[in-house]
Amino acid sequence: MKSDSLIPVSFPVRESLPDGAALLCADVGGTKTDMALFELRDGHLSILKETVYPSRQFSSLTEIVRQFIKETSHPERFCVAFAGPVQAGKAKGTNLSWGIDSDELSKALRIPQVFVINDLEAEAYGLAALEDKDLITIYKGEKTQQGNVAIIAPGTGLGEAGLFWDGRALQPFATEGGHTDFAPRSDFDCELIHYLQQQFGHVSWERVISGPGIHQIYCFLRDIKKWEEPAWLLDSMKQKDPSAVIATAAAEGSPICVETLRLFVRYLAIETSNLALKLKSTGGIFLAGGILPKIWNEDLQKVFLKHFLR
């Protein structure tokens, strides 16, 4: 346990690595895989190399690792944070065509120790490294309150995790809550779920609270609610990631894009409140993922609090 950290997270006990050992880490998502090589010196890790790869351009994680570790120190341990349910060191990507197996990785890469955990579980452990300057407070609660903690993170998919308070420290655990049923609150939401059911059948929270979800909400406003789509916006989406285009256009004042992000944040708030209730997260709730830092503003914060507190 890191007793000096802002958030007291308990870590699994592993065999200590020798001084000078190399540690390989990977964060594998549906869009990108972030690889980093660390060196252990005097009990502290220092980063030697970091590279980001487009996940879908590779047929396996082994292929990515082999490209990354060319002309570097051969790692003695490899830890993988993977976007998908992990069972006994094996995982199949939710938004990827390939999966991983810790034993197969160890043999193929000749790395003695390979550990695979869910990506949101990894984010939960990462809370121990945060400082006050790393956080933006959305709603200030009682700092002395102890209890479970929840994390929700929209990205290529929707990740959810928890940390159980055992009376001494927080114990991270993964969930697959992002795949539970989307629950409409209004007639508008019922129209949206019907629109999505026609495309996907089962409609989960991930269908609306994710990068692809932003695009789905946009298409619903355009196709069903008949909001105007400027020609320049359509052209831009043909060339770039639609969700990124929507976020940029919203910042520039495009009405349909502004409304898309307001709806995205409204649904995020509702599912965050659901998660808070399920985990009884009196110790706090963390919003994470790659989308929110790029879109967050005072207007969206008001939207979030209005629907979360309801």
Along the chain (310 residues), what's the average pLDDT of each consecutive run of 10 residues?
69 86 93 94 90 94 93 88 93 87 95 94 93 91 82 95 95 96 96 98 98 98 96 93 96 97 98 97 94 96 96
Three-state SS annotation for 188-212: HHHHHHHHHHHHHCCCEHHHCCCHH
Please report whether residue 203 resides in a domain: yes
Residues 192 and 79 in one domain: no
DSSP assignment string, 125-170: HHGGG--GGG---SS---TT--S-EEEEEESSSEEEEEEEE-SSSE
220: containing domain: 178-309
- Tokens, residue 244: 């990124």
Q: Please tell me the distance from the alpha carbon of residue 27 to that of residue 198, in angstroms, as a whole number.
A: 33
What is the pTM assigned to this prediction?
Answer: 0.90
In a shared domain, residues 117 and 221: no
Give the number of domains in the chain: 2
Evaluate whether residue 95 is within a structural domain.
yes
Q: What is the pLDDT of residue 6?
A: 79
In this structure, what token pair is assigned to residue 52?
A: 């980001």
> Is there a single domain that holds both residue 190 and residue 98?
no
CATH number of the domain encompassing residue 191: 3.40.367.20
